[in-house]
Structure 1
Amino acid sequence: MSRVGPARALPGLALGLAGVIYASWLIGPLLNPAFGLLDGYASELAARDQPYHLVFGLGDLVVGALASATGVALARQARGWPRWAWWGLVAFGVATALDGTVSSMDCAPTADGRCARLAELGELSWRHQGHSVSSSVAIAGGIASLLALLMARRGRGASLRWGLAVAAVLLVGTAATLVEVAHPDLALGAWQRVQLLGLSGWLVYAGVVATRPDP
């Protein structure tokens, strides 16, 4: 069995750490009891009027920095499908860093009726309004990266099967979240959390792929 050298291990560790930190919404109910584990959008925990919003915003910033730096380093030495996968990781990283800083939300629309009304009237800041754009870019980058990784891992047996399982979670969560956005009900938070679990799984999976030398 070949050993994984430091040059391969470091990107894997960085992406594994990013996947864990990206699941910071799991501690949301502990820091902000107003939100249950499956209530509203996870990004509302980082809204600037919420308690401990800096914790969740910093989490997004760290995830974004880890993903961006790792993606650039890997993309510069990759070719074919892997290169597309790592540039998708960079897009996710940049957009996620913006989510927690420049485009963090002003308030939490699903928990604050006044905030929801102001959002409908377009009277919140440009940062709040830009949040949906940065979040969409992050999700699109993650999906594109995962699909490119699956193309690169064709014929790899267990590695491909794990990737397909992660893709199923991410794609189902994303599709259901889009339906819920168009027709909101109490399941919105639950489906978005499925999507977020899929993104965390993708980051960990990408880290594992990054540590495996190409044959």
Structure 2
Amino acid sequence: MRSTRSRSAPRSAVPLSVAVAVAVVAALANANFLLAPLVGARVDLSVGVISELSVPSEPGSVWFRLGDGTAGALGLLLAVPLWRSASRHARFRAVCLAAFGLGTLVSALVPLTCAPSLGPCPASSAGAELVHDGVSVVATTGAVLGGLELVLRTRGPLRVLALATALVSTGCGLYEVVTFARGGNGGGGDSQRWQVLAVSAWLVLEAVSRRGDRPGRTARGRA
């Protein structure tokens, strides 16, 4: 008699509790704007954008950059076991997480050098702003696509939570695109704060949903 392993089993299993713990830390680090009142940030997030909190000259900016860097690095870490899976859907999830992780990490390494909501910025700040905005778009796109995929993959209460998260993230993203196209700042921090919270929720839900990735029945041996 010869036994075989289930082909659907991941090549590199990671305990669900570990994945969830990593995702929770990433989610909290991603929502670092919540620290703004505690560090005496000058940026008014009803007017300015969240990225302005990371401008090196602003109070507590190192904590915001550290938060983004941590969230990005952990997002990349969460993508690794999914990419090593044989499942095509798991690899798509890995790409979404990697896009979010890489974009967020680079945005921490290349912060804005000026806060436009606090006054005029010199022309020399345009280069950093272009890079920062570009990688932020990559990160947001990965999160939005990952959130939409999560809705299709989950069932029951988890799907309801995933749908709510995806609607907020996608809706805020579209609103920001429209306002940017009209010459605005993406709707300011109000829209961004909701989107960041939705993305943080997606990270946790993505990890929790992995309980369905664990192999159930294995192929039985055949004579």
Q: Give the conservation status (yes or no) of the 8 Å contact 1:150–1:160.
A: yes
Paired AA for residue 75 in structure 2? A
Q: 1:110 aligns with which of 117, 126, 129?
A: 117
- The corresponding residue for 1:132 is 133
How far off is 1:37 after superposition? 4.5
Per-residue deviation at 1:87? Answer: 1.7
1:83/1:7 Cα in 2 relative to 1: closer, same or farther (>3 Å)? same
Contact 1:81 1:149 in 2 (8 A): no
Q: Does 1:98 align with 2:97?
A: no
What is the CA distance between 1:191 and its match in structure 2? 1.2
Alignment of 1:80-99 (within 5 A): 80-99=88-107
Deviations 1:182-215, CA, capped at 9 Å, x for gaps: 3437952211212112111111211211244455
> Greater shift after overlay, 89-98 or 21-30?
21-30
Matches within 5 A, 1:173-192: 173-183=172-182, 184=184, 187-192=187-192
Q: TM-score, normalising length from structure 1?
A: 0.85
Question: Residues of 2 paired with 1:49 and 1:192: CA distance?
Answer: 22
Q: State the SS of the aligned residue for 1:20.
A: helix
Residue 28 of structure 1: how far off its partner (Å) = 1.0
Any idea what SS the aligned residue of 1:104 has?
coil
Structure 2 vs 1, CA of residues 80 and 150 (structure 1 numbering), >3 Å: closer, same or farther? farther
**Partner residue of 2:198?**
198
Name the residue aligned to 1:63: 71
Contact 2:16 2:208 in 1 (8 A): no
Q: 1:72·1:86 contact (CA, 8 Å) conserved in 2?
A: yes
Kindly name which structure, 1 or 2, has the bigger radius of gyration based on alpha carbons: 2
**Contact preservation (8 Å) 2:41, 2:60:** no
Q: Partners in 1 of 2:186 and 2:96 — Cα distance?
A: 31
1:12 corresponds in structure 2 to 20
Q: What SS does structure 1 have at the residue aligned with 2:117?
A: coil
**How many Å separate the matches in 2 of 1:43 and 1:34?**
13
Match of 2:160 in 1: 161
Name the count of aligned residue pairs: 202
Structure 1: which 5+ runs fail to align? Answer: none
1:21 Cα deviation after fit: 1.4
RMSD after superposition: 2.2
Q: Deviations over 1:159-183 (max 9, x none)?
A: 2111111101111111122222234
Cα distance in 1, alignment partners of residues 43 and 125 from structure 2: 21
| Runs (5+) with no aligned partner, structure 2 | 1-12, 217-223
Question: For the residues of structure 2 that align with 1:197 and 1:43, how far apart are their CA atoms?
Answer: 15
- Indicate the percent of aligned positions where both proteins have the same amino acid: 28
TM-score normalised to the size of structure 2?
0.82
Deviation (angstroms), 1:91: 1.2
Cα deviations by residue, 1:18-76 (Å, 9 ceiling, x for unpaired):
11111110111221341234331101101122122111101111111111011112221
